[in-house]
Structure 1
């Protein structure tokens, strides 16, 4: 077992780690405002030029709305568009409990959000889920202009935490991002559920 004191920082991904995400909600929501083929919106959400530009802060929320509305011929107003856009999230109480336990029992460990996200999602989540206020800081793609797995976003998080890779634990649901972090020397583990996260943290003496 690695001594707990070797871990100075914990990096958390956001979607499907701190909060649950169900992008299928977008299809049902936007279908009432235009003709959308099955899977079309989800593919757009997961990987498209507009989405990547929005995630990197190269499109404003207004620009992303206008481009998406034109692309899918949606007859929808701005606020309704983003109400549906933000409807994909649900709380993950067990992970919230883990974060609060770390804050209480290991106050010396810095907890940092490291997320590929966009302006609307991030603002909605900050306003809706106060668990983000428990963290010591946030590094998000739309503010820094880079998405994971680019090393710059991890380096920014390391600097914010005052940590180095070998003293940093990182959890994310995407295996390719875990691999990229491991190349940098970060102690990265794929998130597959809250019980497994507890077991992964316990390897470093962090018992939650």
Structure 2
């Protein structure tokens, strides 16, 4: 059965992943040296589910209040759009395949990406901090399927994290690990897509 939708991860797929550099810059601006303490990583699941405000975590770590957009420029420096992946998503849409997004992320980063307009062609867009679930929880994949209105075997998922790829497969989604080779990811996806016109959608 040909796939009818592809769900894309963001960091490491649609965006080049610059997490290490971003965190280093945040740590420096908070006066914490060159690295964020373990407490930041421990708080990340709650931040990404929208259960804890980022500003509260930053304040607890640094002892001072900082605005939500304090590190926007650092994020944009270290996370840049991958135009080849955007082109692949556009190609899929031209073939009648829907494209969606599922990302573990936080409120400040969502605000930046929405302002950039990168997410506009995708739908639905599931941000963990907005839906209260995060990968690899099976519930977030089920929610994506419900919002697409499609069964798992008609949906593909692209992510760079093996654990998340495995979690998607566990609920029946065709999952591909993106290793940075756009051509390989494209081939894998197009093998699952019906030829143009085969299903009457093009």
TM score, norm. by length of structure 1: 0.82
Matches of 1:143 and 1:87, distance apart in 2: 24
RMSD: 2.5
Contact 2:165–2:177 (CA<8 Å) still a contact in 1? yes
In the alignment, which of 70, 75, 99 is matched to residue 89 of structure 2?
A: 99
CA shift in 2, pair 1:137/1:28, >3 Å:
same
The match for 2:108 among 120, 123, 126 is 120
Unaligned runs of 5+ in 1: none
Q: Deviations over 1:6-50 (max 9, x none)?
A: 21211111111011121232314542552425xx339666xx222
CA distance in 2, matches of 1:205, 1:33: 47
Alignment of 1:7-26 (within 5 A): 7-26=3-22
Deviations 1:131-184 (A, max 9, x none): 311112111111121111111100110011111111111100001111111111
Q: Determine the C-alpha separation between the residues in 2 that align with 1:132 and 1:194.
A: 19
For residues 181 and 121 of structure 1, the distance between their equivalents in structure 2, rounded to whole angstroms, comes to 24
Normalised by the size of structure 2, how large is the TM-score?
Answer: 0.84
Distance (Å, rounded) in 2 between the aligned partners of 1:206 and 1:120: 38
More helix by share: 1
Gaps of 5+ in 2: 196-202
Q: For residue 165 of structure 2, what is the aligned residue in structure 1?
A: 178
